[in-house]
Amino acid sequence: MNDTATSSPETLRARMVDHIQHGFWPACERVADAMRTVPRHLFVPDATLEEAYDDQSVITKRDATGAALSCASTPAIVAMMLDQLDIQPGQRILEIGAGTGYNAALLAHLTGPNGYVTTVDIDPNITGGARRGLDNNGYQHVHVATRDGALGDTEHIPYDRLIVTVGAWDLPAPWWTQLAPGGRLVAPLRWRGQTQSVAFTYDGAQMISDSMGLCGFVPMLGQDGEHTGYVDPDGHVSLYWDEDQNIDTTGLLGICTQPKAATWSGVTVRGEEPFDRIWLHLSATEPGTCRIAADKTATTSGLCTPAVGIRSPAIAENASLAYLTTRRLPDADDARFELGATGHGTVGADLAERLCAQIRNWDTDRTTPPTITAYANNTKPDHINLFTIRKTDCRLVIKF
């Protein structure tokens, strides 16, 4: 076979789907077929064919600082979320975040000729580009609207499915009223410093999750419930926490220079084995769960050594802190690491022990996710529950 044939869009697209199907979240065959059919490269014309069909996001708009404002999401994450959405032919779909129009084209393929797809975005440049991409590729019937995604779209309610393709800190009230009872909502929901693509079923009063997977998305504009602050005076170590948490980084400034209390859990992982669900256990049990991020200067100097430098779970309590860390086991036959925690401050050792307790809880069942129940704030009275996570329009209760 010549080089042209092996690098054709059809061949690269098939290879992309094969990679997805052998990855961390194989999609159902209907989703795989949609991704084999819809030409991703035509929705990202500034990317090369190889870039269009690599398992990576393609940035399509940046701000003045270079930060991404819009992109075509990583194909594996696209496949996971579509699989979670469980689209059936003939359904009405609302997408929040128009992107390039590629995801809306996949939605239209899955709903078929009797379905209806609406995609909305607050940025007219993005909706204009999505409209052109859809029109140029035979998806003129997809409705594209320029509006605040938090408001949804009332023009074609109720929707059987609602999918959010921007990072959501909250589940705004209009989404609840526009989704039909029995419908499904899939959103990259952010809490306690992490983002999980959570699939909810709506029963008309509450939303109950049945699956989730770690992901990352450009944040949705207007949802400012997450705070950040430095705990290192030179700006090398920062925390991310939610507005309902009693965390004050001024009391933690310089915490990483205080004596360390290292605790090891006895739980090990191989080099590429995921352990992000420890974060879920922490968010269900520890009110001070947050995210710690240390830059290269901090990690190489030993000032702060989280398990994953830019994104690891931590517990903050008053003027003390503990975070997840790892150490390589030199005598292991394979690349194996032990999970543990490093604590600083008056109760840092206790926080490290509590973090290790959740590592051990995770180790008893590494794959089963918790159940997240979301209650709309205007339909559910306040919970007397220490671990209720309070947002502007909803409250989350997480249980294993």
- Higher per-residue confidence, 57 vs 12: 12
**Mean pLDDT, the chain, as a whole number?**
93
pLDDT at 1 over 50: no
| Cα gap 175→187, rounded to integer Å | 11
Q: For 208-234, what is the mean pLDDT?
A: 92
Q: Residues 47-68: pLDDT tens digits? A: 999 999 998 888 777 777 766 6
Query: Stretch 341-362: mean pLDDT, rounded?
Result: 98
pTM of the model: 0.93
Question: What φ, ψ does residue 271 adopt, rounded to 5°?
Answer: -50, -45
Cα distances (angstroms) measured from residue 217 to each of 50, 71, 81: 22, 9, 12
Q: Is the pLDDT score of 208 beyond 70?
A: yes
Mean pLDDT of 82-105: 97
3-state secondary structure of 197: strand
Asked whether residue 345 carries a pLDDT value surpassing 50, the answer given is yes
Instruction: Quote the CA–CA distance of 363 and 261 in Å, as a whole number.
Output: 22
Catalytic residue among 57, 70, 73, 209: 73
| pLDDT value at 71 more than 80 | no
Please state the rounded mean pLDDT for residues 256-275.
95
Percentage, residues of the chain above pLDDT 70: 95
Q: Does residue 385 surpass a pLDDT of 90?
A: no
Cβ-contact 149, 163 below 8 angstroms: no
User: What is the tens place of the pLDDT at every residue in 292-342?
Assistant: 999 999 999 999 999 999 999 999 999 999 999 999 998 766 789 999 999
Please provide the size of the chain in residues: 400
Among this protein's residues, is 73 annotated catalytic? yes
